[in-house]
Amino acid sequence: VIVNGTCGALTSSTATLTVNSLPAITSHPTSQAVCAGTNVTFSVTATGTGITYQWRKAGVNIGGAISSSYTITGVAAGDVGNYDVVISGICTPSVTSNIAALSIIPSPAITVHPASQTVFVGTNVTFNVTATGAGLTYQWRKAGVNITGATSSSYTITNVALTDAGSFDVVVTGTCPPAVNSNAAVLTVNTIAITTQPANQSACVGANATFSIVVSGSNPTYQWQVSTGGGPFTNIAGATSSTLALTGVTQSMNGNQYRCVVSGSLNSTAATLTVNPLPVVSLILPFDTLYQNSPIQTLTGGTPAGATGVYSGSGVGGGVINPGAFALGNYIINYRFTDGNGCSASATDVFTIIPKADKVNLFPNPAVNGQVTIVVAPELVGGKATVYNDEGQKVSDWIVSGRQTVYRFKWAAGHYTLVFVKGSVEVTKQLIIVR
């Protein structure tokens, strides 16, 4: 400053003005997760005049922690918490950083160890482990030797062989050490094996069906089971041998599945039972009565018809009967038909052998709806048959072409006279037609 007076001017010495800045944080410390036993450093970046630092944990000053960074060596569980830093300067107020949380990444720990197992040759087996921790990886071992590719929390062996037996464990490694080893799980391989599985079976209603299984190994046990309607398998009482015999199968058993449990836990494949229905068979013979002097009869009337239908009974041979070979009386004809599934059923009908009659026989008589069988003696074959109504009017005539013929006359109901003539042989018969 210059001071002027009467006697002159004076100039003062120079004075400097300094403006101090307030403390300010430009980069806050960040939260961190570290492995136990490692080191961790929190850092802060700040501006201001004459700034100082004081790190805190949970709001409490940490002795000696007075720089822009704070390092913890050999982090332990007691170090876990919230950290911040208070920055002071020549000018007030001071500033406090954001909170930075410190956490410890857990090391791997096994909560469920793999269990020892006993399985059968040819089956599958799986070992499992359950572990906690971060960044877990797995390495399964057999007898302490790493198994290539076995790097998940489970390890499966398919189609187990005797050579697979042994001791298995798994090494679990995480982001933080140490790795942990599971307990050893022992695999025992049972030598019992199914060499022949049960096969599907088909049977006709009322027939028998048998399922069987072939097993190798010592002292196997068996328990057959059934599944009906796609439901669960249940034990069949008493079915404890290598074969299951089903007697008299019914239609309701169609589609049932059967399997065998060997030695308590080795399941066979399921086999299906198909039950085929029996064919519906009937027999209506074209005759009820035959004369002893009737010609040989070809048997018909069985349904379904076909080459697999067979007639049988007393005096039957080649599908025909010779009435002359029978004594008087009633006889039963059996018709048995076998379908494409090999299922058979039978039906029967009865006929009667009556004494030898005239040279011409009509039956039945009366003839319902005009249907009648006419049997003539050999000497009338080739002769002429003439028919007259009850008024003596000629109705019809024809040449007799065979010994036995079935006719269906269309004449009105009533009484008719039939005259058969050949040479010197003449036979007259009466016929009644009813409708």
pLDDT in tens, 255-308: 999 999 999 989 999 999 999 999 999 999 988 888 887 888 999 999 999 999
CA count, 13 A, side-chain hemisphere, 28? 12
CA distance 331 to 139: 86
Contact 339, 202 (CB under 8 A): no
User: In this structure, what is the dihedral angle of CA atoms 169, 159, 231, 262, given to the nearest 10 degrees?
Assistant: -90
Which candidate, 375, 352, 347, places its Cα nearest to that of 284?
Answer: 347
CB atoms closer than 10 angstroms to residue 283 = 21
User: Beta strand pairing status for 360-363 and 329-338?
Assistant: unpaired
CA distance 200 to 152: 39
Which candidate, 298, 329, 304, 342, places its Cα nearest to that of 316?
Answer: 298
CA distance 15 to 274: 117
CA distance 171 to 140: 6
CB atoms closer than 10 angstroms to residue 300 = 16
CA distance 175 to 72: 20
Regions of the chain where pLDDT drops below 70: 357
CA distance 199 to 220: 20
Element (H, E) at 278: none
CA distance 142 to 187: 10
CA distance 155 to 151: 8
CA distance 171 to 379: 110
Cα Rg of the chain, angstroms: 55
CA distance 241 to 165: 29
Q: What is the pLDDT of residue 19?
A: 86
- Write the single-letter amino acid at 201: Q
Q: What is the pLDDT of residue 357?
A: 63
Contact 420, 380 (CB under 8 A): yes
Q: What is the pLDDT of residue 16?
A: 86
CA distance 362 to 373: 6
CA distance 96 to 102: 17
Coil/strand/helix, residue 144: coil
Q: Which two tokens stand for residue 284?
A: 């209506």
Q: Which two tokens stand for residue 129?
A: 């482990």
CA distance 194 to 271: 14
Q: How far is CA 282 from the centre of its chain?
A: 40
Coil/strand/helix, residue 134: coil
CB atoms closer than 10 angstroms to residue 299 = 23
Q: Over the stretch 146-175, which tens digit does the pLDDT of each residue have? A: 999 999 999 999 999 999 999 999 999 999
pTM, full prediction: 0.55
CA distance 216 to 225: 20
List, as own/partner pairs, every contact residues 213-216 make where C-beta atoms lie below 8 angstroms and the sequence separation is at least 24, other chains included: 213/242, 213/243, 213/260, 213/262, 213/268, 214/242, 215/242, 215/262, 216/191, 216/192
